[in-house]
Structures are given as C-alpha cells and as structure tokens.
Amino acid sequence: MHKFCRSVGWLLALSLIATLIGSWPGASQSAPFSLRALWYVSPQPGGYAGATLPDDLRTLQRRLCPTHILLTVPIYQGTKTSEDPRRDPVRTPSDAALQRAIAAIHALGLKTVLLPVLFVDDGTWGGAIAPTNVSQWFARWREVVLYYARFAQTLNVDVLLIAAELVTMQRYTSEWERLIREVRPVFRNRLSYSANWWYDRAGFQTVLNMSQWALLDYIGVTAYFELTNKNDPTVAELRGAWQRDRHGQNILSDLDALRQRYNKPLVFWEFGYQSRDGTNIYPWDYLKATPPDEQEQADAYQAFFEVFSGRSGFLGFGLFAHQVTLPKDAFGYDVLGKLAEPVIAQRHCRR
C-alpha cells in the first residue's frame, strides 16, 4: 500500500512538473505537425543548380525545422485555350539541377515534395484555362506527370503533386482518375493534388465533388482563405475567422466535411501570409500595394497554429515561399528574420 501511494505521488509530481514546463514562456504548446514543408523556389531555371543551394537548405532546416522541402517544376502552355502543356528546354529546370537539389535535401535528412506547376504564356492564370480539346490537354498533362513520376521514383521523392489550382479542370474526374491510375505503377510513394481555396458554396461544392480524392493519399488545399475584413485584426479575431471568414463561411466545417467524405488526411500544400498590412484579407494577392506589416503576418500564423494544432485529420502544410539565395522581402511571404519566424520555430523546433 505504501509503495502504491509513493508511486501515485511520483506520478502526480511528474504531471505537475510537465504542466509547469509546458507553461514556461517559449515552450511549445502542442506537438508539431507531422508534415511541415517549405517551398523553396527559383525565379530562374538555373537556380536549383546555384552555389547557394546547400547553405540555403541548411539555414531553412536550422531555423524553421521542416520535414520536407517542396520544389516546383514550371510547365508551360501557349494560351488559355491551347492543349500543349509541356516542359520548356529553356525555362524548365533541368533534370540535373533538380537531381542536385533533391540529393542536397536528402543529405540533410529531409524529404522532398515535387510539384509541376502550369504557367500560360499569354498571362492567363492556370486555374482559368479552357482548352479547346480537353482530352488532348489531359493527354499532354499525363505525359508531363508520368515523366516526373518516373524521375521522382528514381530519386525517392516522398510526395508527388499531380497538379495544383487547376480550377476549371477539376471537374473532369474521369480524366484525373485515369491519370492517377497510370501514375500509380510508376510512382509508388505518396500522391496528392492541391485544390484552390473557395470563397462561396459553389466553389466548395466543386472541391467536395472531386471523386478523384479517393484515389490519392492526401486531400490537398491551396489555403489562401480570406479571413477578416480589417487590417491588423487581433489573434482572437483571426482564430474566429476560420469558423466565419469574410464571406461568412465556416472553413473548419468545410474541411471536416471534405476529409470525412473521402476518409483521407488533409494537407495545406500551399499556404502563407505576406508581411504587409491587410495580408489576412487577401493572402493570395501578392500584388496588393499596402505598407509592410510584420506583426499582422506573425499574428495570422499564430492564429493558424492555435486553430489547427492537434486538429483531427490535419497532417500539415507547405509554407510559401523562400527563394533561392533567401532574399528578404519587406512585403513578401518569406519569414526569416521577421516576427513570424519565432512563431513558426517555437512550434516545430526542439532546441
């Protein structure tokens, strides 16, 4: 009996100590997300072959503690209505450059996400394309994805995204299902797609009805949801906006419905805030001309972590974006050296 009481006493003491440690300033308030990707992008096709790449990756790993690095592969087509998505020998990074980047990522013990991204030469956003011949467009896109599926399998890439934000093409479920079935024997790791965020019920219903989710490993979202209608909201207001955004939507409820329908974990493959005033209102609008504001960027991340940490079925995120050479942009999405950096690091770095 005395031994039992002493054991209970020790357990209570340990529990109290753990509680006190967890309440210390700077202590992590929750377990880190199991998938924490950082976008590492190059505005130039030769960027991934640049001399700074190894040091860039070490810096990102040391200061932000990712599990994955997300690399992008620009793919081009001529016009909004054309059917010719293709690798460009001048503008698409070479296989050798990508291989070097992936090897450097793996040498640090990190994993890789690879994403072919569609750009249209006439300036059309990839989410607004309208190919004259849909079947021909998908035939060409399958060629692109199968090429990088073979490449990614050879280099043991952890996740291949089959596309992102192709809003006008998402409804062609049979075409996507065919693509996924053709890719599966070639790439045996994880597959996903990143659907663009929605601002109304019709947009959400389109994403909810994408039956191709059932064939993928993760449901993916590009999560630039417009949160409030005000500059510099409080963290509490930003938290609340995930249940009532500036369009009156309950995004948390939507995400739960999407995840539960297909019984798949959820990842925000592209997600971020600029260090500028009003970034929570239009987080997607990188051309918005407002003053720099590091605090609003930091507060938006703080609210995100408080809402999603420990949330059932939410696996993690892809934080957009740091460029090769890691330049600091007073208005940009980058976080190194800004108020947002410790908000992210204290959640995920064990020091």
Distance of CA 212 to the CA centre of its chain: 19
What is the rounded average pLDDT of the residues 227-250?
Answer: 98
The whole-chain average pLDDT of the chain stands at 92
Domain count, the chain: 1
Cα 38–chain centre separation: 8
What pLDDT was estimated at residue 31? 63
Q: Which residues contact 122 (CB under 8 A, 6 or more apart)?
A: 78, 79, 80
pTM: 0.91
In a domain, 160, yes or no: yes
pLDDT recorded at residue 168 = 98
Q: Give the H/E segment covering residue 59.
A: helix 53-64
Does residue 22 have a pLDDT over 70?
no
Answer whether residue 112 is part of any domain: yes
Nearest residue to 249 (alpha-carbon basis) of 228, 270, 233 = 228
Identify the band that residue 30 occupies on the pLDDT scale cut at 50, 70 and 90: low
Task: Report the C-alpha gap between 273 and 304 in whole angstroms.
Answer: 11
Q: 28 burial class (0-12, 13-18, 19+ CB within 10 angstroms)?
A: middle
Selected residue with higher pLDDT from 12 and 350: 350
DSSP class per residue in 107-122:
HTT-EEEEEEEEEETT
Cβ-Cβ contacts under 8 Å for 351 (sequence gap 6 or more): none
Is 18 a member of any domain?
no
Q: In this prediction, what percent of the chain has a pLDDT beyond 90?
A: 88
Q: Give how far Cα 257 sits from Cα of 36, 105, 251, Å.
A: 23, 35, 10
Q: Is residue 136 part of a domain?
A: yes
pLDDT in tens, 271-306: 999 999 999 999 999 999 999 999 999 999 999 999
222: left (phi over 0), alpha (psi -120 to 50) or beta: beta
Q: Residues 49-79: pLDDT tens digits?
A: 999 999 999 999 999 999 999 999 999 999 9
What is the C-alpha separation between 36 and 330, in angstroms, rounded?
A: 24
Rounded to an integer, the average pLDDT of 300-320 is 97
* DSSP H or E stretch at residue 64: helix 53-64
Q: Which CATH number does the domain housing residue 96 bear?
A: 3.20.20.80
| Domain assignment of residue 281, given as a range | 31-348
Q: Rounded to the nearest 5°, which phi and psi values hold at 288? A: -60, 130
- Helix (H) and strand (E) counts in the chain: 10, 8
Categorise residue 10: left if φ over 0, alpha if ψ from -120 to 50, beta otherwise: alpha
Q: With a cut of 50, say whether residue 23 has pLDDT above it.
A: no
Q: From CA 178, how far away is CA 134, in angstroms rounded?
A: 14
Percent of all residues in the chain with a pLDDT value above 70, rounded to a whole number:
91
**Neighbouring-strand partners of residue 111:** 68
- pLDDT, position 3: 37
Q: Is the pLDDT of residue 15 over 60?
A: no
In this prediction, residue 21 carries a pLDDT of 34
Shortest CA distance to 162 belongs to which of 37, 202, 181, 207? 181
pLDDT at residue 258 above 80? yes
The predicted-structure confidence for 86-125, as pLDDT tens digits, reads as follows: 999 999 999 999 999 999 999 999 999 999 999 999 999 9
Residue 16: pLDDT band (50, 70, 90) is very low
17 domain-assigned: no
The whole-number pLDDT of residue 220 equals 98
- Whether the per-residue pLDDT at 13 is higher than 80: the answer is no
Q: Residue 12 pLDDT > 80, yes or no?
A: no
Whether 42 is covered by a domain: the verdict is: yes
Residue 145 has pLDDT above 70, yes or no: yes
Confidence grade of residue 350 (pLDDT, cut at 50, 70, 90): confident
- Residue 121 inside a domain? The answer is yes
- Residue 11 is assigned to a structural domain of this protein: no
Question: pLDDT at position 9, please?
Answer: 43
